[in-house]
Amino acid sequence: MDPRSFLRQTPPFDVLSDEDFETAAGAMEIAFHPAGTRLLTAAGKPSEALRLVRKGLVRLEKGGEVTQVLEEGDFFGFSVLTGTVETDVIVEEDLLEYRIPSTVFRALLSDELFARFFTKRLAERLRSASVVNMPLLPADVLAPVGSLLDHRLVTVECGATVVDAARRMRDERVSSVIVLCDPPAIVTDRDLRNRVLAEALGPDTLACRVASSPLRSLPDSTPVFGAMQFMLEHGIHHLPVLRGGQISGIVTSTDLLRHQSHGPLLTFKKVEKMRGPSAAKGYGGDLARMVSTLLGSGLPASHIARLVSHLNDALLKKLVSWAERDLGPPPCPFAFLVFGSEGRLEQTLLTDQDNALVYRDSSADASTYFSAFAESVVKGLVAAGFPPCPGGYMATKWKGPLSEWIERFSGWVQAPQAEAVLAAAIFFDFRKAGGSLDVSSLWDEIGQARKNAPFLSHLSRAAVGFRPPIGAFRRLSLENGGVDVKKGGITPLQGVARVFALDAGLRATSTVERLRGAASAGLISREMADDLIEAFEFLLDLRLRNQFEALTEKRELGNHIKIEALSQAERRHLKEAFLAIRDAQREIVHRYHVTTA
């Protein structure tokens, strides 16, 4: 769309008389700014023009905190009226902007309808800037994603060409269209760029040829945080929303960005735009700010952890691609595995990395290549803020051909040695986060665990190695005025869930999914599963909030919770959580014949 047409279709320029519009269009200037450009500085020189985003993204910051993200069709530069710049204005994504000089803009304000639009928008913008330090309202992430739909569904017929789709997107000012084939498919602006222009396809190419199908969609009742998680997990930017089983509209990543100044999708976009390992150095800070925002919104810690884990996966895929770029194509398929909290999708703030590397061939060339590959990825993770694992559970040490890994897992399960199984417990939480190699054969080996009582007994020792701090008369046993919620609660609960899951033959790695699966398999009662899940959610949330307090006060992060800092209700809930875990450990000891000291 040419600049004049775009301006004419952008409110409130669409209400101007032909004469006034010609004045505006004739004076309009066009400028381009690369990402990272600072356009305006708070308390600095006012803008000399009203500015309109044509392409790209612009972020507004106050005191280093993002207050708003502007996209195509949004205005900024209101200091042209107020004379005062309230926020820093920085280009988030390469910007093409249209500018209306201040003298022309002021003259246009004589039109009442035109002026009313900017008066209203200016008040809203100033009001949002004044509440930058307020926590996000729960409704922002807990509201149904259907509430974000603000325009009707745009479609093209199954026989439409890519030109038909592009024109429809232009006319409706949207970035995607649904192609009404059976089943329906979606074409986005990225598809037109990557699958049509980049591949030199002709204008008569059928849209369905470059469309994505089947659609990845969600019901309109899905909470906003669920939509974020889904889009991160599947790496999509356009989400069809269903109402009554039918597509009612499309929510984009930009729609969600507007609602999250430090949300997962903004962090994800930053990861997507990284061009090399040096760009990952600020990842830890971005992640901490995002977690703080979500925590303040009322989102449970377990949901935050899942979002964080998917973001970490996106970063890992970047590191993998850079390693391949620097070292050349891998000599054979591989899988990059993650363990620990990342493997269980329970990562919050950045912790020690736990990972391994599996590749298909056992050749010398493969060994040489993947040694360098592992060094590159692990080094990149350290630069991004993931400390090395003190126990050495990293791909630089734990790497090898698939046949070697199958033999290793088989040895742990089929011929278990007590200390070896205890040391290997972390590996039974593995999840593939990168690469194309099929590692389901490792799960086949783990699946033999349910038939091997000695293995389950040895693994159970790890689950009862740490005990909840409950003393005589069901009282909390305090150490230095508090308790360690990880050692006394989270870790043993994760161990209990691991044992039950392997006995049930489950491939789930998250603690909550494992407990639900164990109840479905009849290994524990529904009541016990519900109690343990509630305990896990509470302890995870308590630990995360405690760690953010430490960050704020610039104290060392830890897991020790001072009892005096808790309310009476929290103290009671804490004790109930520990008691539920103690009961589960007793069940483990009885069922798997664990000998304890």
Query: What would the 3-class secondary structure string for 138-154 be?
Result: HHHHHCEHHHHCCCCCC
Specify the amino acid at residue 465.
Answer: G
Query: Is the torsion defined by CA of 423, 424, 429, 430 positive or negative?
Result: positive
Residue 177 β-bridge partners = 187
C-beta neighbour count of 109 within 10 angstroms: 13
Question: Domains in the chain, start-ordered, CATH in brackets?
Answer: 3-134 (2.60.120.10), 145-258 (3.10.580.10), 278-444 (3.30.460.10), 458-591 (1.20.120)
Long-range contacts of 417-423 (CB under 8 A, 24+ apart): 417/458, 418/458, 418/461, 421/455, 421/458, 421/459, 421/462, 422/458, 422/459, 422/461, 422/462, 422/465
Q: How far apart (Å, rounded) are the C-alpha atoms in residues 373 and 375?
A: 5
pTM value > 0.75? no
Q: How far apart (Å, rounded) are the C-alpha atoms in residues 254 and 351?
A: 30
pLDDT digit string (tens) for the chain, length 597 residues: 789 999 998 888 988 999 999 999 999 999 999 999 999 998 899 999 999 999 988 888 887 777 777 878 888 998 887 788 888 999 988 999 999 999 999 899 888 888 877 765 443 433 333 333 333 333 356 678 888 887 789 999 999 999 999 999 988 888 899 999 989 999 998 899 889 988 899 999 999 999 999 999 999 988 887 888 788 778 888 999 999 889 999 988 777 765 555 567 777 778 888 888 888 888 888 888 888 877 776 778 888 888 888 889 989 999 999 999 999 999 999 999 999 899 999 988 778 899 999 999 999 999 999 999 999 999 999 999 898 998 899 999 999 999 999 999 999 988 888 888 888 888 999 999 999 999 999 999 888 888 888 899 989 988 998 999 988 767 788 898 899 999 999 999 999 999 999 999 999 999 999 999 999 999 999 989 989 998 998 999 899 888 888 877 777 778 999 988 887 778 888 988 999 999 999 999 999 988 765
Residue 40 β-bridge partners = 89
